Chains A and B, each alone.
Chain A
């Protein structure tokens, strides 16, 4: 079993991509997502299963910052 990790898409070749995970270059299959270079995908067992929603990521960070502001 593999954990799912965020991976940044470096370059795409058809349905495959080279992605960067913490400085490591890995191969990913992109057939389950619509991704562009520069976007983050969730990589699980060699397959990209989702694309990071940047707006939601920012909103989540904002929500956590607000929590810390209340602390």
Chain B
């Protein structure tokens, strides 16, 4: 699944060029850089960045906060190519990974409701809470179904009017609109058996929490942020202008091709070294508008209200979650089916929380590759297709990419 998606992403900018004489206007717009052109550009660009860092006299430390960037950077080999000059740190960009055990336990409790159909995105299926995963519950007889779209869950509710259908909404600002559209569709259809458990979270509050001094004086030492490309299609450039404005840190909204990431790294290195002004660069203008997606933002506003969010690794962050608005309480799974559960025990040895905060790299967790691996994952960072541990395990740490 990941391979297919990876190939799809790579096709975006690197398909073969069409021969000139057969190119219509429409096809002209689809011309891409050839794979050969792009491949040649990467080492040269990396060399120029390394030279700048050399002249600047100190290594640069950048964080990305988007699961898709985690994978793209790992797959591209850029981490290894830039090692020693630019350190690429992974932050809390994987929405499944940052969903805390207590919340996963709460979501799994819906499986016990008589007749319930619990619908989920595929990525959440194997994530272990403190008492197993949704996949385990399904194997034990619960009706757990993977859906591609939240709207598919609404369709299930329509065709099963006597059964409660609960949709587990996990994601950031990119994904919240989908749940909002589902609720809108359910409201328009007058459904009485459709519920959403909203575990949606917002990205900027997590970044602020990372940058806040935790009192021990060890605020994360970062020179800049690679800002999430798809979250930014919703939030727009204004979503991350707080970085330069309030923290004096440069940010670069980036796409997911190697060249897109290098564009972002190049700017952030320049800004960190004082060669360019510190600001928010939009390097993904083909999809990200300055104002974002106004319809999506309005829909989020009509459907959700900021609430306290519980983040694995970061604890409770005020106004970082998206809860259903009171007038939509009839669709709120947590309100309709409250469960009082024992708080989950802490995970012994699992350092997903530290990985998510960028405090350690996955290989620095003692369980990495040994007790915790893709076949037998212990923590969400290894289970999720966008988890840092899964990305490191699959694509390596970058050391072996150096020729």
Binding site for B on A (CB under 8 A): 1-6, 21-22, 29, 31-33, 38, 42, 44-47, 49-50, 52-54, 56-61, 63-65, 67-68, 70-71
Decide: A44 and B41 in contact? CB cutoff 8 A: no
Asked if B45 contacts A47 (CB within 8 A), the reply is: no
- Return the contact of B286 from the options A4, A32, A38, A56 (Cβ within 8 A): A56
Contacts A49-B296, A53-B287, A60-B285; A1 near B67 (Cβ below 8 A)? yes
Main secondary structure of the interface of A (DSSP, over half): mixed
B26 and A22 contacting across the interface, CB-CB below 8 Å: no
On whether A64 and B259 interact (CB within 8 A), knowing A44-B174, A49-B230, A71-B40, the answer reads: yes
15 A-B pairs whose Cβ atoms sit less than 8 Å apart in the complex: A1-B122, A1-B175, A2-B123, A3-B8, A3-B68, A32-B177, A45-B149, A45-B178, A46-B148, A47-B149, A50-B288, A52-B287, A64-B259, A65-B37, A68-B37
Residues of B within 8 A of A32 (CB): 177, 181, 293, 295-296, 299
Tell which of A29, A32, A38 has the most Cβ of chain B within 10 Å.
A32
Q: Are A68 and B233 in contact (CB under 8 A)?
A: no
Nearest Cβ on chain A to B34's Cβ, whole angstroms: 11
CA distance A6 to B284 in the complex (A): 13
Task: A44-B230, A53-B289 are known; give 18 further A-B pairs, CB within 8 A.
Answer: A1-B96, A2-B148, A5-B5, A5-B8, A22-B11, A29-B151, A32-B181, A45-B121, A45-B148, A45-B171, A46-B148, A46-B152, A47-B151, A50-B287, A54-B29, A58-B29, A64-B263, A68-B41
- For the complex, give the distance between the alpha carbons of A4 and B95 in Å: 14
Please, how many angstroms separate the alpha-carbon atoms of A63 and B257 in the complex?
14
| Interface membership of chain B positions 238-272, coded 1 if the CB is closer than 8 angstroms to chain A and 0 otherwise | 00000000000000000000010001000000000
CB pair B148–A61 under 8 Å, yes or no, is: no
Which residue in B13, B151, B293 is a CB contact (below 8 Å) of A49? B293
Contacts of B31 in A (CB 8 A): 61
In the complex, A2→B9 CA distance in Å?
12
B175 near A60: Cβ-Cβ < 8 Å: no
Chain A nearest CB from B381 CB (Å) reads: 13
Instruction: Answer yes or no: B150 CB below 8 A from chain A CBs.
Output: yes
State in angstroms the CA–CA spacing of A2 and B384 once bound together: 11
| Chain A proximity mask over B320-355: 1 for CB below 8 Å, otherwise 0 | 000000000000000000000000000000000000
Counting from the closest, the 10 A-B pairs by CB-CB distance are A46-B149, A71-B44, A56-B285, A1-B123, A57-B286, A68-B41, A56-B286, A50-B233, A4-B230, A47-B178
| Contact status B174-A22, CB under 8 Å | no
Could you mark each residue 286-320 of chain B with 1 if its beta carbon is under 8 Å from any beta carbon of chain A, else 0?
11110001011001000000000000000000000
Q: With A and B bound together, what is the CA distance between A70 and B170 in angstroms?
A: 43
Partner of B8, one of A22, A61, A70: A22
Which chain A residues lie closer than 8 Å to B29 at the CB level? Answer: 54, 57-58
- We find that the number of chain B residues with CB closer than 8 angstroms to chain A is 56
Judge whether A4 and B174 touch: CB under 8 Å. yes
- Residue from A3, A57, A60, A61 having most chain B Cβ neighbours under 10 A: A3
Q: Are A67 and B286 also in contact (CB < 8 A) when A49-B230, A49-B296 are?
A: no
When A1-B386, A22-B8, A33-B295 are in contact, do A61 and B33 touch as well, CB less than 8 Å? yes
Q: Judge whether B385 is part of the interface by a CB distance below 8 angstroms.
A: yes
Measured CB to CB, the closest approach of chain B to A7, in angstroms, equals: 10
Q: Which residues of A contact B399 (CB under 8 A)?
A: none
Tell me whether B67 and A6 are in contact (CB under 8 A).
no
Judge whether A53 and B9 touch: CB under 8 Å: no
B132-172 at interface with A (beta carbon < 8 Å) = 148-152, 170-171
Closest to A58 in B: B29
In the complex, chain A residues whose CB is within 8 Å of the CB of B178:
44-47
* Other-chain contact of B9, A3, A57, A59, A63 (Cβ < 8 Å): A3
A23 and B186 CA atoms in complex are apart in Å by 31
Query: Is the pair B230, A47 in contact by a Cβ cutoff of 8 Å?
Result: no
